[in-house]
Amino acid sequence: MEYVKVTFPTRRRVYIDEEANGYTNRVLRVDAGTHRFDLGEGDSYRPRSRTVTVKDTSPEKPKRIAFRRKKA
Amino acid sequence: MRLAALGCALLLAACATLAPNPPLAKYEPKAGYDFERLQRGAENTDELFVILAFSGGGTRAAALAYGVLEALRDTPIEWRGRRRALLDEVDVISSISGGSFPAAYYALRGRQIFEEFPERFLYRPVQSELVRQAFSPANWFKLLGSDYGRSDLAAEYYHREVFGGASYADVIARGTRPFVILNATDMTTGAQFPFIQDQFDPMCADLAGVPVARAAAASSAFPGGLTALTFRNYAGTCGYRHPAWVELALKDHGSRVNMRRTARAENRVALADPGRPYLHLTDGGVADNIGLRGPLAALTSVNHPWSVLRMMNERRIQKLVVIVVNAANSPATRRDQSASVPSLVDTVTAAATVPLDNYSFETLELLRSTVAELNHEPGALRIELYPVEVAFEYLQPAEERAWFKNLPTSFELPRETVDRLRAAGRRLLAEDPEFQKLLKTLRAQP
């Protein structure tokens, strides 16, 4: 089992490989390997998606995947 | 005149075969027999998520699993302020071979199983009837054909005599959980082949048009005694495209970061190969004789058609119960009482069954280690896990255990044996320490 924490200034849905998988700023479980993360529809965040290989994590040290607000 | 009549009868019999699985007109993700499309049912909550795995083992397995279903029906719980039967909380059933018969029947008929299934299947001399069918002149023409085998004949018998002519369209029409997954084995890839639409999508095939009996027959096509069943693969004809994770998992092949996930992606690609117009499915026990591999993948992967991990990320689950009903036997042998070289039959039987039993052992170990890993998660993530195991090896006293472990694998057992198996299922479930712990938290009262 691997762990990620997708961060964003507010609470948003997290999509892993195009499937809803919990919310931002929480530790989420994922199987090891390369996954695509995004925050769903809308053009309010950047980058639009991040593809990350997740391995060697723990609940205490999850892989951090950061998204930021899109600049106006 | 008589000869002509016989000829006509044989020809008619030859034509009276089940149609091949139909193509899927247009691919739509998550359509057809899909977990998320099923209603939970008024008495079912996601917070208490219950998975049953029914092993193979002929009527021995079917009766043991049926006994567990009876016990769950008779187990009252109090959950979320309401009383109900624990059976109403069952969300998924994954089954193999003999265990696929009660599973499929429950998918089709719900609680009617308790009125109908014993006489329709458990007490029936199914094996004798199958043998009689195979030797009937009416079936000779069919059995001479290269694209028709003994399992096709068995499927027709189950279709007529056990499942009342039902297809997956009838299961879909019921529209409620549990999501029942009958498992066979793809002979070419060696991969487990679950009868759900997600598996049929890459083949551009429509599970709705498949008789439930054919799925049960494929799941229980014990190699040697029964033949593999052939399914049509229409890959490339319906606009199917792989889910996003498949490409990513394929690219991980070189780094070997998660070979289980990569192998699942490769199996999906193999199903979608237009150069493979037929699939040959054999007994589900060849890939996994306890039906637990699918649930384990659901527990550990977000890339699964009914990912429990995804539901856990969504915080939909508080208590997760996995009940494994394992009817594995272990017949006594006098082999080691003699210096004689074991016979060919003895050796081949051992070669066929020993790896299967060892794999089942490792699969159960994988469940235990997965539970241990999840139990070590910190408080914010943690859910309550209850791995329950119903197996003859936990029976006491030893003489009784030996009696059950010596039962043969057959589709025909004496009525008294079936009744003892049903009772053993109830008793083993009630005595399991994890099950007792679960009931304590659910404040069940007799």
Residues on chain B touching A31 (C-beta within 8 angstroms):
258, 261, 300-303, 309
Span B349-357, mean pLDDT? 89
Span B66-88, mean pLDDT? 95
pLDDT value for A72 = 76
Query: How far does the CA of residue B278 sit from the closest CA of chain A (Å)?
Result: 30
Span B316-329, mean pLDDT? 96
Query: How far does the CA of residue A56 sit from the closest CA of chain B (Å)?
Result: 10
Residue B43 predicted with pLDDT over 90: no
How many CB atoms are closer than 10 A to CB B429? 24
Q: Is any Cβ of chain A less than 8 angstroms from the Cβ of B380? A: yes
Question: Do B148 and B107 touch, CB atoms closer than 8 A?
Answer: no
pLDDT value for B344 = 93
pLDDT value for B444 = 58
Residues on chain A touching B257 (C-beta within 8 angstroms):
32-34, 53, 55
How many CB atoms are closer than 10 A to CB B284? 34
Residues on chain A touching B296 (C-beta within 8 angstroms):
none
Number of alpha helices (DSSP H) and beta strands (DSSP E) in chain B: 18, 10
pLDDT in tens, B246-274: 999 999 999 999 999 999 999 999 999 99
Percent of chain B with pLDDT over 90: 83
A35-61 b/e (C-beta count within 10 Å ≥ 16 → b): bbbbbeeeeebeeeeeebbbeebebee
Question: Do B44 and B91 touch, CB atoms closer than 8 A?
Answer: yes
Query: How far does the CA of residue A70 sit from the closest CA of chain B (Å)?
Result: 25
Spatial CB neighbours of B291, under 8 Å, sequence gap ≥ 6? B53, B54, B55, B56, B94, B95, B96, B99, B181, B183, B284
> Tokens for B140?
């000779």
Of all residues in chain A, the one with the smallest CA distance to B297 is A31
Q: Is any Cβ of chain A less than 8 angstroms from the Cβ of B248? A: yes
Q: Is any Cβ of chain A less than 8 angstroms from the Cβ of B15? A: no
Q: Could you tell me the pLDDT band of residue B445, with boundaries at 50, 70 and 90?
A: low
**Among candidate residues B370, B435, B436, B444, the one with its CA nearest the CA of residue B50:** B435
Average pLDDT of the residues of chain B: 93
Between chain A and chain B, how many beta carbons pairs sit less than 8 Å apart?
73
Give the integer Cα–Cα distance in Å for B421 and B68: 10
Distance (Å) of CA A65 to CA A4, A69, B113: 7, 14, 49
The pTM of this model reads: 0.95
Distance from CA of residue B437 to its chain's centroid? 27
Residue B339 predicted with pLDDT over 50: yes
How buried is B145 (Cβ within 10 angstroms: 0-12 exposed, 13-18 middle, 19+ buried)? exposed
Q: Could you tell me the pLDDT band of residue B138, with boundaries at 50, 70 and 90?
A: confident
pLDDT value for B8 = 46
pLDDT value for B343 = 94
Residues on chain A touching B264 (C-beta within 8 angstroms):
none
pLDDT value for B326 = 98
| Interface contact A30-B302, CB threshold 8 A | yes
Question: Using alpha carbons only, how large is chain B's radius of gyration in Å?
Answer: 22
> Tokens for A66?
């950061």
Q: For B378, which of A1, A36, A59 is closest by C-beta distance? A: A59
pLDDT in tens, B141-194: 888 888 888 999 999 999 999 999 999 999 999 999 999 999 999 999 999 999
Residue B18 predicted with pLDDT over 80: no
Residues on chain B touching A33 (C-beta within 8 angstroms):
248-249, 252, 257-258, 261-262
Residue A49 predicted with pLDDT over 80: yes
pLDDT in tens, B389-406: 999 999 999 999 999 999
Q: For A33, which of B243, B244, B261 is closest by C-beta distance? A: B261
| Interface contact A31-B244, CB threshold 8 A | no
- Interface probe, candidates A19, A53, A63, A65, chain B, greatest B C-beta count within 10 A: A19
Question: Using alpha carbons only, how large is chain A's radius of gyration in Å?
Answer: 11
Q: Could you tell me the pLDDT band of residue B224, with boundaries at 50, 70 and 90?
A: confident
Q: What is the ipTM of this complex?
A: 0.97
Give the integer Cα–Cα distance in Å for A59 and B313: 13
pLDDT value for B3 = 47
| Interface contact A34-B257, CB threshold 8 A | yes
- Interface probe, candidates A29, A49, A56, chain B, greatest B C-beta count within 10 A: A29
> Which position has the higher pLDDT, B223 or B161?
B161
- Interface probe, candidates A17, A23, A25, A52, chain B, greatest B C-beta count within 10 A: A17
Q: Is any Cβ of chain A less than 8 angstroms from the Cβ of B354? A: no
Residue B1 predicted with pLDDT over 60: no
- Interface probe, candidates A31, A36, A37, A65, chain B, greatest B C-beta count within 10 A: A31
Give the integer Cα–Cα distance in Å for B254 and A8: 32
pLDDT value for B10 = 46
> Which position has the higher pLDDT, B12 or A60?
A60
> Tokens for B132?
């009689």
